[in-house]
Amino acid sequence: MNNYIELLKDPYNLTKWVKILDIQVTKASSDEEVTNMRTIYDEFLGNFPYLVNYYIKYIDLEYQLQNISKCEEIYESGFRYLSYSIEFWMSYLKFKITTTAINFNSVKDLVTLFETARSFIGLHYFSGDFYKLYLEFLQTYETLGITGYDNLLKYVLEVPLYNYSYFHEKVDKKYVDSYITTQYKAYKLYEYEKKLTNYNDVKFISVQELKTWDKYLEFMELNYPHEFVIQLYERAVITTSQYPEIWNKYVSYLTSKGKYRQAEIVAKRGKQIERIVEFALIRDKHLVVEALKKSRESTKLPVQDNWNDYNETLSKYLHT
Amino acid sequence: MNSDLPSDIFSDVSVEPSTIEDFKQVKEEVIKTPNDITRWLKLFDNIDSFTNTSNSFTTDFKTFVTTSYNELLSRFPYLVAIWRRFAIVSYKIIGERESIEVLGRSVVNCPYSNDLWRDYITALEVSKDDDLDDYIRRGIKMIGRHFNSDWIWDKYLNIGDKWEKYQNVITIPLYEYSKYYTQYSELSRDMEIEKVVEETYLDTAVKKYGRSLDELSLIEKSQILEEFNYSIFQKTQALVTDQWQWESLIKVPYLDLSLMDTIKSERKIWIEYLNWAINKYQQTQLPRDQVISIFERCLIPNCFDEELWLKYLAFLNLEPDFEQMDLVYNRAINKFVPLDKNVLRFSYPHFLLVHEKHAMINDYIFDLMKYFSGGNHLHKPFKLQFLKCFQSLLQCWNQMYPDFIPYVRSVIDADLTEGGKLGEQVDVMYSNNLMKFVNEDSIQVIIEFYLHHTDDNNTLRSFFNTYYDSSVLKSCSGFWKFFVQLECKNLHFPNLDMIMTYIISHTTLPKIVVDSLVMEYYATATDNYSLFKKLGRNLMEIKLWTSTSVIQNPGLSSRYNLGPQWGKNYDNPGIMIDHKPEIIKRRDFKISEEYVLPSFRNVERAGAQVPYSKK
């Protein structure tokens, strides 16, 4: 109970939330306990919509309760923010594979889902695991008449991935050009990737890391086609969602490409997050304002005095 | 207070000097950092220990000591403790007369120091000076309203006729106020009641008895007297009680450069104290001199505090007296307020203007201009302050000379175009003087002044057309800001857009200025969207001008003059890598269609070395 009171005093404090989120429910739990759990998670994710791990935790709890349709619902709401999150897609795809009854049509549908996933996260530097899963899936259901394994493998060879070499081991030597090119590109990207961390938190991130994102995005803009740039921006805003810099850069990028409509949408998304974050940071802001006021105190003189009205201006100093 | 200072960490003066040459060497070190009081104190310590061991001193040495002290004290005339040391050392090495002379100068330079006056008067007493009484009278004038000036009152009250002096002293809030009241009360009992009690007070008091004054008994008269005295006592007592709140809190009422932190922390006590005094003055419960006395005392430790000087001037300006305020201004400007604090300095010309001292204004500003421009080679130029001089001069001249704005235009034309002639509205001498100081920076101030004092849109626009591509204006924020705001106000979007486009690509304004102008344009455009739409522009294009990305913001790359090569050395700054492995002819991928391999380029270059410059 104390935890709840603490939280009420400070509703945007992640540490206090985490204490409360440590909930276990089983099939034996009462309806009330389950409703409580849902209320807490819904409220929490409304405040922190980019924390993918907590979505997955929530889904896991529902999964234990075997509420498959509720799981779907949570995934759907999560995708509003996390459509470019590898973790979220991987979780979703595995969930779908385990909960779908297998026949030719349903597997076809799953392939479509994989393709949707690929359109979002297929160019992600760490999408190697995704392609592994995808390829395994295609291979497994070849017996059902599902094609595409060879096609996809050839395609993956050209995506600059962290574990690009894994896929090259599966093909013969005629792909050596592709290997070298992808290796070169993957190394280039690694220069940036190695400096980034995958956050699942709302703590401040370092200035260096923000700079790295900035440079990485510029590098992409200069060297890669539009879809690469978009996926990187989407990745960047997940991690840096509380910083306006990357949102602004994203909007400018879309504007500079003449994509005004998309730019507006991104701007709106950024604004929405900004509001949430503003609340979260409001106490810190308070401190900042106090500090500023203090430093101002020593330099209280008005910046520009209008001495044209000498008596009036001078009289301001009488009661300083 | 010197004992608070470490005495052994300044290695450069650690050798005890004993000859005049040694001393001069030490002094050379000291004047390298003339504001470092610890070095000065070390020098004076050395002088002291030398004078303690020796009995006869050369003229050279005497002159050395005197000039050393004078140098520091002309820099910091309010260093009371240094004046006292100076007097002591003068006594030791030269003699009593010299020592008294030093104290005499100390009270001239720091006339509101209770301590210095006490030393001075005491020294005069000891030497049985003939003019002692005169000096005491002078002292009373300066420090008679000091909270702790009872010592001098004691002396003053014994000079000549007592009664009027007592009448005066009992109204002054002194720490020892009750002592004087007691003495005064006794004295008053021997006086005729009409001499003691104010006429109006006496009239009202007598009326209460329903008889005339002569008809009152001795007891009744003495009751009136006592009541009257007591009413004065109560007033003074109330003032003393009030003042004691602050007097008791101030620990450093003198200037000590090693205690500046304490002085700073006591500043707000002084301000509360002063505010109280000003209030009382405005309610006519405290005479003007009493407030001045508190100001002057406050300004001894806080003599470098511009805001307090301004507060003082603001107080004096309640009943302005040119001579008095001019003296305060001169003290603050020439002796105390640091050069990087210039509100007060730039208020002075306007003070002169109010009192119609036009010649003084020109002399003052041109002197200041010369000083800040670095013209006398004594220090580096103060650019911002130099430009403020221009502003100030233009403002004053605008009030001094009729038809001044056409003259300003003529200055701009004379500076920016060949064959432009100066107007004759301002005296030739001053006009020529001004032109000596017009440079790339100051002309911007003049242009801004001109723009802000011209109303007609057509004149302004033709001015813009004449000068917009002048190289001087490429970095002139004020010029561009003015025209952006003008066209925003007029909602003239075609002009606005042209100006902004020019700013974005051709000027060298700081990004922060460009951004704020863009946002001004943006705000105007959103507020008047239907007008803006006629331009055929998208609002987001405008906002893009604020982007920090050279890739995204076309204006930036043109402002920074970045060629198409720029992107090529992004990953290895400074090195061009023309050939990178690339995929060309990449095809769209569909899971259901066969994937045709793309082509590759420059694959053999993947392992090539980065071509670092050989140098």
Please give the tally of structural domains in chain B. Answer: 1
Q: Is residue B499 part of a domain?
A: no
Question: What is the structure's pLDDT at A275?
Answer: 64
Same domain, A66 and A173: no
Mutation to test the B interface, candidates A310, A313, A315, A316, most B Cβ within 10 Å: A310
E strand intervals along B7-111: none
Please give the tally of structural domains in chain A. Answer: 3
Mutation to test the B interface, candidates A118, A177, A250, most B Cβ within 10 Å: A177
Read off the pLDDT band of B551 (50, 70, 90). Answer: confident
Asked if the C-beta of A161 comes within 8 angstroms of chain B's C-beta atoms, the answer is: no
Same domain, A190 and A131: yes
Q: How far is A143 from chain B (nearest CA, A)?
A: 16
Average pLDDT, chain B: 88
Q: How far is A302 from chain B (nearest CA, A)?
A: 9
pLDDT at A286 over 80: no
Question: What is the structure's pLDDT at B565?
Answer: 65
- Collapsing DSSP states into helix, strand and coil, what is residue B233? helix
Kindly determine whether residue A320 and residue B549, on different chains, have CB atoms separated by under 8 Å: no
Asked if the C-beta of A304 comes within 8 angstroms of chain B's C-beta atoms, the answer is: no
pLDDT at B244 over 90: yes
Kindly determine whether residue B552 and residue A158, on different chains, have CB atoms separated by under 8 Å: no
Residue B265 tokens read as 């922390």
Residue of A121, A131, A128 whose CA lies nearest to A234: A121
Query: B315 to chain A: which residues are within 8 Å by CB?
Result: 318
Domain boundary among A194, A222, A240: A194
pLDDT at A112 over 90: yes
Same domain, A199 and A317: yes
Residues B483, B484, B485, B487, Cα dihedral to 10°? 80
Same domain, A115 and A70: no
Structural domain range at position B600: 576-615
Domain boundary among A139, A174, A194: A194
Phi-psi map region of A312: left, alpha, beta (phi>0 left; psi -120 to 50 alpha): alpha
Q: What's the mean pLDDT in B134-149?
A: 95
Kindly determine whether residue A318 and residue B271, on different chains, have CB atoms separated by under 8 Å: no
Q: Is residue B602 part of a domain?
A: yes
How much is the CA Rg of chain A, to the nearest whole Å? 26
> Model confidence over B440-474: pLDDT tens digits?
889 999 999 999 999 999 999 999 999 999 988 98
Q: Which of A193-197, B344-348, B415-419 has maximum average pLDDT?
A: B344-348
Asked if the C-beta of A216 comes within 8 angstroms of chain B's C-beta atoms, the answer is: no
Same domain, A201 and A242: yes
Q: Is residue B178 part of a domain?
A: no
Structural domain range at position A14: 1-82
Question: What is the structure's pLDDT at B569?
Answer: 67
Cβ(B277)–Cβ(B291) under 8 Å?
A: yes
Question: What is the structure's pLDDT at B131?
Answer: 92
Same domain, A67 and A130: no
Same domain, A320 and A201: yes
ipTM topping 0.90? no
Q: What's the mean pLDDT in A161-188?
A: 86
Domain boundary among A40, A61, A82: A82
Residue A17 tokens read as 């939330």
Q: Is residue B518 part of a domain?
A: no
Mutation to test the A interface, candidates B299, B387, B540, B557, most A Cβ within 10 Å: B540
Same domain, A187 and A120: yes
Q: What's the mean pLDDT in A23-39?
A: 88
- In this prediction, what percent of chain B has a pLDDT beyond 70? 93
> Model confidence over B60-98: pLDDT tens digits?
899 999 999 999 999 899 999 999 999 999 999 999 999
Read off the pLDDT band of A4 (50, 70, 90). Answer: confident
Same domain, A203 and A314: yes
Read off the pLDDT band of A94 (50, 70, 90). Answer: very high
Query: B580 to chain A: which residues are within 8 Å by CB?
Result: 184
Q: For residue B271, give the DSSP letter.
A: H
Question: In Å, how far are A227, B283, B416, B531 from B445, measured between CA atoms?
Answer: 50, 44, 14, 34
**CA-CA distance, A280 to A219, in Å (whole number)?**
32
Q: Which of A52-56, A169-173, B539-543 has maximum average pLDDT?
A: A52-56
A180 forms beta bridges with none
Q: Is residue B614 part of a domain?
A: yes
**CA-CA distance, B94 to B58, in Å (whole number)?**
10
Q: How far is B545 from chain A (nearest CA, A)?
A: 9
| Three-class secondary structure assignment of chain A | CHHHHHHHHCCCCHHHHHHHHCCCCCCCCCHHHHHHHHHHHHHHHHHCCCCHHHHHHHHHHHHHCCCHHHHHHHHHHHHHHHCCCHHHHHHHHHHHHHHCCCCHHHHHHHHHHHHHHHHHHCCCCCCHHHHHHHHHHHHHHHHHCCCCHHHHHHHHCCCCCCCHHHHHCCCCHHHHHHHHHHHHHHHHHHHHHCCCCCCCCCCCCCHHHHHHHHHHHHHHHHHCCHHHHHHHHHHHHHHCCCCHHHHHHHHHHHHHCCCHHHHHHHHHHHHHHHHHHHHHHHHHHHHHHHHHHHHHHCCCCCCCCCCCCHHHHHHCCCCC
Q: For residue B567, give the DSSP letter.
A: G
Query: A115 to chain B: which residues are within 8 Å by CB?
Result: 591
Same domain, A55 and A93: no
Q: Which amino acid is at B158?
A: N
B155 versus A21: which is more confidently predicted? B155
